Amino acid sequence: MKFATSISIFGLLPLALAAQSYKSFLVTYPQNTPDSVINDAKKALINAGGVITHEYHLLKGFAAQATENTIQTISTLSTTYNPFIEEDQIVTVDGDLTDS
């Protein structure tokens, strides 16, 4: 009986993961933002199951794949240094946005 229960639980796992749609986001902060604020945001994102895909060095920020809920959480971590968060998109030469 334990075997059948394990199969049914693992069978539902892909459905649970599919329900949490991951998207690519760009997260940038004002230049005067302390590194600790950015590090806290990255830790929160990773703890929630997100992935940092790129860390910026000229800008204060990073690119990530995460759920909408995780991104909402990050946006409220700091009241002093508010991040600018946008969904990552492909921009063409003529300025049009396309779905990736």
* Alpha helices (runs of H) in 1-100, residue ranges in sequence order: 2-19, 35-47, 68-75
* Integer Cα distance of 26 and 61 in angstroms: 8
Q: Which CATH number fits domain 20-98: 3.40.50.720, 3.40.50.2300, 3.30.70.80, 2.60.34.10?
A: 3.30.70.80
* Integer Cα distance of 85 and 21 in angstroms: 17
Q: What is the pLDDT of residue 85?
A: 95
The predicted-structure confidence for 12-55, as pLDDT tens digits, reads as follows 555 555 557 999 999 999 999 999 999 999 999 999 999 999 99
The helix (run of H) or strand (run of E) holding residue 51 is: strand 51-55
Residue type, 71: I
Q: What is the pLDDT of residue 18?
A: 52
The mean predicted confidence, pLDDT, of the chain is 84
Q: What is the pLDDT of residue 10?
A: 52
Query: In the chain, what are the domain boundaries?
Result: 20-98
With a cut of 70, say whether residue 56 has pLDDT above it. yes
State the pTM of this model. Answer: 0.72
